[in-house]
Structure 1
């Protein structure tokens, strides 16, 4: 598999791609996700403000995929999609109107 399966809005950065490709089982699980599912993981990883948090989220992505999860645990969802309005819960966790969120 040469082309890395991406999300609907977001594209996985090199560090996430490298981590997912490092385990054939994880890569298979990643590829089996819907583009929306991949998008949620990518957005969640990209939302990290610090490098250490980003690395923890990448590691957790691998773990959650192996656990059979299709979306990141405890994530309000990508607010960057233009095909739908953010849900009530997403709006409730937004800090400001610039697309920044208060999620860890």
Structure 2
């Protein structure tokens, strides 16, 4: 059984995502209907990239796919910050 790396591994909602949600009531409703774990997966997936262009692409994809009703990012193994092996990064 894998233990969480931190008691609170949830990521904060980034400003650029907040702005999109604030500007689109229907998307905000769909976002709010997701579980907190699902929202965390989307945020981690979107922000875990190195290049700004990739992040922008993922933000656009997040917007489109959540709007279409997707619950989680496709082909994403999950937030690595939840795993025990990530503790050294989270607790540092």
TM (norm. structure 1) is 0.69
Query: Residue in 2 aligned with 1:73?
Result: 74
Runs of 5+ unmatched residues, structure 2: 1-7
Whichever structure has more helix as a proportion of its residues is 2
Q: Does 1:52 align with 2:66?
A: no
Q: How many residues align?
A: 81
Alpha-carbon RMSD across the aligned residues, in angstroms, is 2.3
Name the CA distance, whole Å, in 2 between partners of 1:55 and 1:33: 21
Runs of 5+ unmatched residues, structure 1: 1-6, 87-96, 100-104
Task: Answer yes or no: is the 8 Å Cα contact 1:10–1:42 preserved in 2.
Answer: yes
Alignment of 1:1-104 (within 5 A): 9-81=10-82
Task: Answer yes or no: is the 8 Å Cα contact 1:8–1:36 preserved in 2.
Answer: no
Runs of 4+ in structure 1 off by over 2 angstroms are none
Query: Residue in 2 aligned with 1:92?
Result: none
Larger relative contact order (Cα-Cα within 8 Å, sequence gap ≥ 6): 2
TM (norm. structure 2) is 0.77
